[in-house]
Homo-oligomer: A and B are copies of this chain.
């Protein structure tokens, strides 16, 4: 049922054999990125088959004019789109003046792609017979440098296999590109300058409306049997520049083209100095040379893996899955720039506009806290702090007052850019996830300073929103929150979504606590914040009134909190009793049918039990899990991980393992039949949580690390590392025991299965 063409391998993603039907899928799966830019695994040479071209520069977007059926007041004017940037990987190949195009070749043999995750490079090789009868071998290796994040490098090797021939190679840049995702066929890029000079070429282009200035850059060197060949000519058209090499090559001789390419952008340089900056980075890269640059790449990835690797013994598919997830997360976001965030598709496609969702706070933060450090995690929080003013403006547009903030559902620069009313206006729990991330950051890192410095202002604005968004219901004699969409987007405009109401109450109480704590501990910050926000005791009393009298729908019969007021009125047929042909329901059913069904897209009430786990006992968790999971269709990539963690906690390891495989190999095995569009980057952090929090049972309890290790039957053992408050702990778990190794200088105590264990530096502790 799911695709199965990726070779199992612990460290590499490997495709063998050429299938034109798989080109778009593989373009997604073999994507590479370095946090500052990224690209789909498009071919360097021309390809007339089905392809989805994509090269992306972090933070460069286009506010595409929005498209709706009927306009609603409050809708944003635009939908930010990640932009397909000018192509720098292109290399046209002509053999005896015939353009090489895999789609036109016969007898494609030894076709192989490898994405080496350990070392951070991508390779493609094959032999093919061209229509003119020339048999040719191509082997191309490509990577985006982690050391110089404005540049990538390609080694493109061509060999004639059955005859001598004239070969022309044209490495080029092309800014005549389009977006697949464009609402009104607007032009997104405007080319202003193109240069081709010696072995280098540049295209300056800026995005329409947003005016991001960029310079796409390249340098090409050709070696023929080891000898440098000079370009025969320079190509310079308005949106297409490059250099051309022409060689009379003999059979079996090797032509090796090294191409450096990438982007400099006005986000990091003065707009007038982009070509200079491009020359500088090309100087650095070419001076170092391809092999040395690749060596640095391997070292950089080794350093990332040193901290973030998870090993799994006895299950190569699970091993490959988790490494693919960790690799892609690191390709997407490295935590070096607080202006950036983590788009649901990273640099692998255009869907979801490359924008920021609540996924970051709810799913990605724990991964970055534990595998990087608090500085990186704090950057993710700061991103939202920087957008506070815009979140206040956004709430104002919807009628909220007094500095209440509603963070956008989807954003590139802090402005909302989604417009379906049931999501944009009603999926307000995102505000809660942003507040919870502040709590979670402090709980994990112990760094309280973020709260007085930035976090408290965010919390106040969010609490103001919740206070105004609730209203008093006379019949219920409680405060209610009407007209929301919860994490389960298969219900819209519902009343009293338990998760949302619970978050709202928690947010208000947490904010009031932090107000007191900052007042006591950080009086200067406190005075600044009060002066700015004008929060008074009278106001917080009003908040408390709402929080303390919040309504929570509950079923006495089932002893569970209800997802929303009307949940039990539904026709409660479990997922297992549904005809399999009816699934996935989001492809088979009309929207109204989905909405009135009991089927849950992703954890909703259980999402609350996940983030507020310590508010409930195991029996309550079990009751809620047993009530809701059977109605859950897991049609969101964010669903299986939470359920995996909870199943593990309930000791249901078979189920936990099933959910784990689904989350970790979602893209490799293309569960949702859409991997062509790009990878599910943010849910990959959920995969990491499935192992560390699910199987490893890692929690923070009273400022201390705590573990409840479990292991699926299918595994011999697994290990992961955690950075907890600048101390590194390596955890290795087998079906017999769990071993902990502390890297650092000071002793520390942790809890394992509820018992205190003292870790000493350099000594293994087994529990």
- Chain A residues within CB distance 8 Å of chain B: 66-70, 72-74, 397-399, 419-422, 425-426, 471-476, 480, 482-483, 492-495, 565-566, 568-572, 586-593, 595-596
Contact = CB atoms under 8 A, between A and B. Distances in A.
A565 B566 contact: yes
- Max count, chain B CB within 10 A of own CB: residue among A73, A566, A590, A592: A592
A766 B531 CA distance: 78
B493 A493 contact: yes
A569 B493 contact: no
Contacts of A74: 590-592
11 contacts: A68-B69, A69-B419, A73-B591, A399-B590, A426-B592, A471-B569, A472-B571, A475-B569, A482-B569, A482-B570, A495-B566
A641 B475 CA distance: 32
A471 B592 contact: no
B569 A398 contact: no
B595 A483 contact: yes
What are the 4 tightest A-B residue pairs by CB atom distance, in nearest-first order? A74-B590, A425-B592, A483-B596, A72-B591
Contacts of A565: 565-566
B569 A495 contact: yes
Contacts of A399: 589-590, 593
Contact of A482 (B475, B483, B596): B596
Contacts of A586: 73
A494 B422 CA distance: 13
Contact of A591 (B69, B425, B472, B474): B425
A489 to B, nearest CB: 11
B570 A471 contact: yes
Contacts of A397: 590
Nearest to A568: B475
A399 B475 CA distance: 36
Q: How many copies does the complex hold?
A: 2
Given A483-B595, A569-B495, A571-B472, A589 B73 contact: yes
Contacts of A571: 471-472
A566 B474 CA distance: 12
Nearest to A565: B566
Contacts of A596: 471, 482-483
A139 to B, nearest CB: 42
Contacts of A493: 422, 492-494, 595
A596 to B, nearest CB: 4
A475 B569 CA distance: 7
A66 B69 CA distance: 8
A362 to B, nearest CB: 21
A302 B374 CA distance: 86
A392 to B, nearest CB: 15
Contact of A474 (B474, B495, B568, B587): B568
Contact of A69 (B67, B473, B483, B588): B67
A404 to B, nearest CB: 13
A482 B566 contact: yes
A745 B60 CA distance: 84
A586 to B, nearest CB: 7
Given A492-B493, A570-B482, A571-B471, A593 B69 contact: no
A397 B422 CA distance: 23
Contact of A569 (B69, B473, B569, B589): B473
Contacts of A422: 493
A590 B492 contact: no
A2 B302 CA distance: 74
Given A569-B495, A593-B398, A596-B482, A73 B588 contact: yes
